[in-house]
Chain A
Amino acid sequence: MNANGETVIDVRGLTKRFGDKVAVDDVDMTVARGEIVGFLGPNGSGKTTTIRMICGLLRPDGGEGTCLGHDIVREAEAIKRQVGYMTQRFSLYEDLTIRENLEFVARLYALSNLRQSVNETVEGLGLKSRQHQLAGTLSGGWKQRLALAACIMHKPRLLLLDEPTAGVDPKARREFWDEIHHLAEDGLTVLVSTHYMDEAERCHRVVYIAYGTIVARGTAEEIIESSGLGTFVVAGQGAAAAARALNGMPGVEQVAAFGQDIHVVGSHGPSLAESVHEVAERYPIHVAPGETTLEDVFIRLMSDAQVNENGR
């Protein structure tokens, strides 16, 4: 496994219970070197728990696997040395300055050239003039950049990012993703959890988890294609009224407003088309076939999983 195309994460049957609740249920995942894999799923679906098991922060109740060639249960220490983990919540010290935080991390990884590493990181962040500012006084976007800088300082081989861009403005998010792609080009592997569809589309591959179970995986196109969903875009003056009428009609599974337009989604093409055309005769609207988005698919996956969960 040391050749090109080496597997960085390879876990099978990962299971984690908290009391009676099964947080992660029989999850398999493989991630190859240099890949950027998006990890998606609703809140509480088990993303964070899975990531924590991969980097040795939680002990799985079932399953096995390796991360960077080390066993995730027995060799957690070796994994931790080569992984950069960015937690969902800012977990550097708010009462330490930017520089002190970076020095702390550099010492923890016993970096040989502490001063130089920290200087480079501070300059790379563009925070040289503010390096003596307390980390707690930074805005959300800066905190996130600092956290990322801190977890790549020791040149890890794998980055685990847990909702790194939650609450960050679009420009900062875009810069963040440019940085991620830049790092991946140098061979760094990235597993990133997110709620943002545009971010999911920037990943090489996507894994979708709901209620602890992986329900879809592949590239964005593959996932959309395999969902079998069809979409119509409804526009015009009567769109809002039409949307209300469409709700619950045969073949109509999702009705969602996007600005002036309404997206109508369903998995059974003929009955969806029939319903849409029927409504088009009653309201002043235009109907055109549209493209199914990743979001449409995920909402579908989410409600399916909910049905399964409730049916258990």
Chain B
Amino acid sequence: MKAHSAASRIRAVLLKEVIQMRRDRLTFAMIIGIPILQLVLFGYAINTDPKNLPTGVVMADPGPVARSIVAGMQTSGYFLIERGHSEAEARAGLTAGTLAFVVTVPAGFHSDLVRGQNPEIIVEADASDPTASANAIAALPEIVNRAIAASTQGPMSAAGAGAVRPEIIVHRHYNPERITAYNIVPGLIGTILTMTATLMTALALTREIERGTMENLLAMPLRPIEIMVGKIVPYIGLGFLQVGVILIAAYLLFQVPMEGSLTLLLSAVLLFIAANVTLGYTFSTLARSQLQAMQMTFFFFLPSILLSGFMFPFRGMPVWAQAIGQVLPLTHFLRAVRGVMLKGNDVLQTLPHLWPVTLFLLVIGTIALMRFRRTLD
């Protein structure tokens, strides 16, 4: 009987929240719109691995090896080769920004190579945007080595660097084509959930206080845990809706692979949403107004974005920043999701990333229940 009435009370709050959520069209549109917008922006517009960078080639020694190198650059996809530049023209193009690279094959390149001396290829890059050129430059030595290896097989094999297969491979794990969308989709799931799930529940209690409905709610026989569960569960559902939107769009637009188990992924998602909505609810018990709740959310959101490894590589951060990052659920969630989606990690490989999120959830949930004011004091 007692359990029955508790269930009835939770149901009351839960259904009320769902109705209010449905009726708040603008917020609902935002909940669905944000993931799609972010996905399209990050997937299409923002590309940290640009291809087809205009490249001028100054060929002072048009030997077979040099031609082979240029062909290798072209097929790598990073370089859009424009031939026939004079040295002066090429340099002007670089200054004007019409060329991103100038590759010069100096006179005597071929003869140096044949004689076994170190031949030089000069690459000049427009490094004003280092991230734009970084990957292309990183790919160059490999391209050159392989081109040399390829063209020195057979009659000139004495001068060759060794037995290397004669095709150009940019060898990178898990995202061989370095498609930004692959990396961004798991990150987007995490950041979007961090933002919306936390914000929505952060507003949950403060809205009741601001509208004056809290007094009525408190005057009725509701326990704090019943209010919390009733308020949190609908937003977990909403979070899953968002994840569904992102996953479907990611598959349709970018053919992002799903290497691991979907069930495992969704379990991690459930845990992560629960952690975030509970955090939002905790903010809600601390804040006096919706504005304060919103400010708290952003205060949490910023380090989540910057220190979790979503924006910047986690290993590149100083120790203190890593320590902060370790506390954030997003950090661990990103590792779990990238692992499951891109590497096909199984449960055992994913667990190390899930228990910190669980711990976070338990601690925050306890704080929320302790902080909840049963009276209007």
Residues of A within 8 A of B (CB): 52, 55-59, 76-77, 80-81, 83, 85, 87, 89-96, 100, 103-110
A90 to chain B, nearest CB (A): 7
Complex partner residue of B221 from A59, A77, A91, A95, CB under 8 angstroms: A77
Q: B16 at interface (Cβ–Cβ under 8 A)?
A: yes
A156 to chain B, nearest CB (A): 11
**Contacting pair A104 B23 (CB below 8 A):** no
Q: B176 at interface (Cβ–Cβ under 8 A)?
A: no
Given A56-B375, A95-B20: A104 and B12 within 8 A (CB)? yes
A88 to chain B, nearest CB (A): 9
**Contacting pair A91 B222 (CB below 8 A):** no
B26 CB contacts on chain A under 8 angstroms: none
Q: B118 at interface (Cβ–Cβ under 8 A)?
A: no
A105 CB contacts on chain B under 8 angstroms: 12, 220
Question: Which chain B residue has the least Cβ–Cβ distance from A101?
Answer: B16
User: In the docked arrangement, what's the CA distance between A76 and B376, Å?
Assistant: 13
Q: How would residues 17 to 48 of chain B score, 1 for a CB under 8 Å from any chain A CB and 0 otherwise?
A: 00110011000000000000000000000000
Q: B98 at interface (Cβ–Cβ under 8 A)?
A: no
Closest 8 pairs between A and B when the two form their complex, measured CB to CB: A107-B12, A110-B5, A91-B216, A110-B8, A85-B219, A80-B221, A81-B221, A108-B12
**Contacting pair A57 B4 (CB below 8 A):** no
Interchain residue pairs with CB less than 8 A apart (14): A57-B376, A76-B375, A87-B215, A90-B212, A91-B216, A103-B12, A103-B15, A104-B16, A105-B220, A106-B12, A107-B9, A107-B11, A107-B15, A108-B9
**Contacting pair B9 A59 (CB below 8 A):** no
Given A100-B19, A104-B12: A57 and B220 within 8 A (CB)? no
Given A92-B216, A96-B20, A107-B9: A58 and B377 within 8 A (CB)? yes
User: In the docked arrangement, what's the CA distance between A61 and B89, Å?
Assistant: 87
**Contacting pair A52 B376 (CB below 8 A):** yes
**Contacting pair A92 B213 (CB below 8 A):** yes
Q: B211 at interface (Cβ–Cβ under 8 A)?
A: yes
Given A57-B375, A100-B19: A108 and B212 within 8 A (CB)? no
**Contacting pair B216 A87 (CB below 8 A):** yes
A89 CB contacts on chain B under 8 angstroms: 212, 215
B377 to chain A, nearest CB (A): 6
**Contacting pair A95 B4 (CB below 8 A):** no
**Contacting pair A104 B215 (CB below 8 A):** no
Q: B218 at interface (Cβ–Cβ under 8 A)?
A: yes
Given A94-B211, A95-B20: A87 and B220 within 8 A (CB)? no
Question: Which chain A residue has the least Cβ–Cβ distance from B16?
Answer: A104
A100 CB contacts on chain B under 8 angstroms: 16, 19
Question: Which chain B residue has the least Cβ–Cβ distance from A79?
Answer: B221
Residues of B within 8 A of A (CB): 4-5, 8-9, 11-13, 15-16, 19-20, 23-24, 211-216, 218-223, 374-377
B5 CB contacts on chain A under 8 angstroms: 110
A122 to chain B, nearest CB (A): 17
B329 to chain A, nearest CB (A): 31
Identify the interface centre among B9, B216, B374: most chain A CB within 10 Å of its CB.
Answer: B216
A107 CB contacts on chain B under 8 angstroms: 8-9, 11-12, 15
Question: Which chain A residue has the least Cβ–Cβ distance from B10?
Answer: A107
**Contacting pair A93 B12 (CB below 8 A):** no
**Contacting pair B212 A87 (CB below 8 A):** yes
Complex partner residue of B215 from A77, A83, A91, A103, CB under 8 angstroms: A91
A53 to chain B, nearest CB (A): 9
Given A95-B20, A95-B24: A58 and B220 within 8 A (CB)? no
User: In the docked arrangement, what's the CA distance between A89 and B216, Å?
Assistant: 10
**Contacting pair B219 A93 (CB below 8 A):** no
Complex partner residue of B375 from A58, A90, A94, CB under 8 angstroms: A58
Question: Which chain A residue has the least Cβ–Cβ distance from B1?
Answer: A110
B144 to chain A, nearest CB (A): 66
Complex partner residue of B376 from A58, A80, A95, A109, CB under 8 angstroms: A58
**Contacting pair A109 B221 (CB below 8 A):** yes
Identify the interface centre among B11, B221, B222, B375: most chain A CB within 10 Å of its CB.
Answer: B221
Question: Which chain B residue has the least Cβ–Cβ distance from A160?
Answer: B219
B7 to chain A, nearest CB (A): 8
A81 CB contacts on chain B under 8 angstroms: 221
User: In the docked arrangement, what's the CA distance between A107 and B9, Å?
Assistant: 6
User: In the docked arrangement, what's the CA distance between A87 and B219, Å?
Assistant: 9
**Contacting pair B212 A95 (CB below 8 A):** no
**Contacting pair A96 B16 (CB below 8 A):** yes
Question: Which chain A residue has the least Cβ–Cβ distance from B20?
Answer: A95
User: Can you name 20 extra interface pairs (CB under 8 A) apart from A91-B213, A92-B213, A96-B19?
Assistant: A56-B375, A58-B375, A59-B375, A77-B221, A77-B223, A80-B221, A81-B221, A83-B219, A87-B212, A89-B212, A91-B216, A93-B213, A95-B19, A95-B20, A95-B23, A96-B23, A100-B19, A103-B15, A107-B15, A108-B9
**Contacting pair B219 A57 (CB below 8 A):** yes
A55 CB contacts on chain B under 8 angstroms: 219
Given A96-B16, A104-B15: A57 and B218 within 8 A (CB)? yes
User: In the docked arrangement, what's the CA distance between A100 and B375, Å?
Assistant: 25
User: In the docked arrangement, what's the CA distance between A87 and B213, Å?
Assistant: 9
**Contacting pair B221 A108 (CB below 8 A):** yes
User: In the docked arrangement, what's the CA distance between A104 and B17, Å?
Assistant: 10
Given A57-B376, A95-B20, A100-B16: A108 and B211 within 8 A (CB)? no
User: In the docked arrangement, what's the CA distance between A76 and B15, Å?
Assistant: 25
A77 CB contacts on chain B under 8 angstroms: 221, 223
Identify the interface centre among A57, A58, A90: most chain B CB within 10 Å of its CB.
Answer: A57
User: In the docked arrangement, what's the CA distance between A139 and B20, Å?
Assistant: 21
Given A59-B377, A87-B212, A91-B215: A108 and B19 within 8 A (CB)? no
Complex partner residue of B220 from A94, A96, A109, CB under 8 angstroms: A109
B189 to chain A, nearest CB (A): 30
